[in-house]
Structure 1
């Protein structure tokens, strides 16, 4: 009986140690709430304080800062914002207290050799406007606050006070809606740091295209227009863009117009067949009443030849848009031919044995080579379905 108990205790100890090791590998990082931001009106949709997770730098990376903005779509009308308000995309009250850092944010040298010891921050997303909104009045009927730009400003201000103002190196990055935010706020981020700081930006799956949908309509243009009007975003979009797009300044939500006058070096990580964009820009359900695209947009192997032609044309439009801009020589690209969305935040796609590669180069190496200027990086994959390193699409998706 005693022997059995000892064996049980030994096994229990092994399990607990294993869980601790797993937690360490995942890089679990605690949450920081900016309670003093509430007085400045810099709040989530529900009025709760903004939040971020901060893993401090060490060793040679102690003066280097990587600020990564979370993604999670947008809310374009009051009803959609109300539906987000009581989730972690609208309230810091609903956010997990610990967040696992992986990929670009990993603290493991082997898997993230260029940035593992930097100060790494994950900014939580709770405003629904890619951190662009600022409406003074509160929606009284629904108690909604549209203050995304204020959230961005107070968090950057807080990080500057915590040492980022002395940064030697700094990166503003993000995934999806956060990847769009990293484009929209890139030059402003540069302006807030010393001239001596080496500042660059990274957009992961944030290059959303201004393109017609399969019906010939402008679904995504109308969608972003609604977001901009509801959140009061236009005044916080890059002035270098809105001054040129005076008739439709809300079009500066689209990166292809912003990058034309961007001054800060930026790296674009994007799937040429971005799964979110194929589902929501190219073939949104709203314009596919006959459900002809239902199977195709979940799995490219199920597309008809005619559908694949439309998808290949969409890729061509994206590559053309990415090539524009006055500062294109400092622009880095990793455009793989995978059917994916957001690839830098997960170890499996960032730098693992099974990560997608373009020309034998994985995302982590491409980004590091570009940031440290070890070599120019403009990796553009061949057209689908040429890349065997792309992950297979799960039929249950």
Structure 2
């Protein structure tokens, strides 16, 4: 950095600036939102009855017949009260949604996103609270809640098929958090809707929620998923390859679904996932004294005993991972949640890495079969490239 005496300001040398621009995506501006009004008559609506929505940035050149479908995350609503609350924001109503800018895996800059930049890139908005699995016909007039997540997903996929995805040569179904879980739950069905000749794979970012007890010994997350499945009528829309072996609520856990899948999957997750630590390992119900309050927000604030508990959770997480050779894995030791949708963590000069490999490189190598990718990071705090980016 140099000082310019004329402007009395600090400036970057041109070579440094060029170096930075190689890794920083040029913002192409907001991507328009498509409100799928035609879906309303089919009952495919958000929690409040408003039309579902998605954002599409068309492909170009060699990517014109390639499709990246990314599902937004945002947790779940397990009871009427929680779902009613969502009706008043973009998590339950398209009335509150606005255009978005794409970045990370959805970005359109070749240097920042070399493997997917010119694909048709879609972000499906999440407004049903069930990871796109809900299916209840009746609507209580007292709440006007519509549990129609599965219909929303299918209506948007049908619209994309009609817009050219039925001719896809390459396709990747992805998602973050609750959307990352949805990319697993809908993976094989997505594959069945595309041409048999297409190369189709799925990618889950921070969606590998595990079946684990909380610090009090209670099965809090199992209770959560049971409530979600029952409220939303999700059972009929969970993978039959899993529900034929497990009770439906157990098929909200990827560790019981993935071994039954036939479509290749890539799992990107933090071993110390910020959402899982806050809500599976140490939910408020299991920590009335708030002993974990600071540790949950910043892993550097954890006591030695809390770190020992976190290392135990990491071990459980690693044991729950799939072992199939077709499954790619990239498990960081970061305290993070969702890393593919932001350029700073997807591919930048200071992105988190494992063995000098960025997330973008790992996913691209796996998708295009350039190499098998099964990278498991060392235990915290060994990886200096990690950031504390809790963006749930």
| Same fold? TM cut 0.5 | yes
Identify unmatched segments of 5+ residues in structure 1. 1-21
Deviations 1:206-264 (A, max 9, x none): 0001100000000110011101100000110000000001xx32110000000111110
Q: Distance in 1 between matches of 2:388 and 2:158?
A: 42
Is structure 2 residue 176 aligned with structure 1 residue 175? yes
1:203–1:268 Cα contact (<8 Å) kept: yes
- Residue 197 of structure 1 is matched in structure 2 by 198
**How many matched pairs?**
368
Structure 1 runs of 4+ with >6 Å offset: none
User: What is the Cα deviation at residue 304 of structure 1?
Assistant: 1.6
Counterpart secondary structure, 2:154: helix
User: What is the Cα deviation at residue 24 of structure 1?
Assistant: 6.0
Q: Distance in 2 between matches of 1:102 and 1:392?
A: 19
Counterpart secondary structure, 2:259: coil
2:25–2:112 Cα contact (<8 Å) kept: no
CA RMSD of aligned residues (A): 1.4
Q: Distance in 2 between matches of 1:283 and 1:358?
A: 27
TM score, norm. by length of structure 2: 0.92
- Residue 57 of structure 2 is matched in structure 1 by 55
User: What is the Cα deviation at residue 323 of structure 1?
Assistant: 3.2
Comparing 23-32 with 116-125, which one deviates more in the overlay?
23-32
Is structure 2 residue 382 aligned with structure 1 residue 386? yes
TM score, norm. by length of structure 1: 0.91
User: What is the Cα deviation at residue 26 of structure 1?
Assistant: 4.7
Q: Distance in 2 between matches of 1:392 and 1:282?
A: 18
Q: Distance in 2 between matches of 1:265 and 1:239?
A: 17
2:25–2:103 Cα contact (<8 Å) kept: no
User: What is the Cα deviation at residue 23 of structure 1?
Assistant: 11
Q: Distance in 2 between matches of 1:252 and 1:194?
A: 27
- The 5 Å alignment of 1:307-386 reads 307-324=306-323, 328-386=324-382
Counterpart secondary structure, 1:207: coil
User: What is the Cα deviation at residue 27 of structure 1?
Assistant: 4.2
Aligned pair in 2 of structure 1 residues 26, 213: CA closer, same or farther (>3 Å)?
farther
Counterpart secondary structure, 1:334: strand
Is structure 2 residue 76 aligned with structure 1 residue 77? no
Counterpart secondary structure, 2:174: strand
Q: Distance in 1 between matches of 2:355 and 2:230?
A: 43
Q: Distance in 2 between matches of 1:43 and 1:99?
A: 20
Identify unmatched segments of 5+ residues in structure 2. 1-23
User: What is the Cα deviation at residue 180 of structure 1?
Assistant: 0.3
1:134–1:149 Cα contact (<8 Å) kept: yes
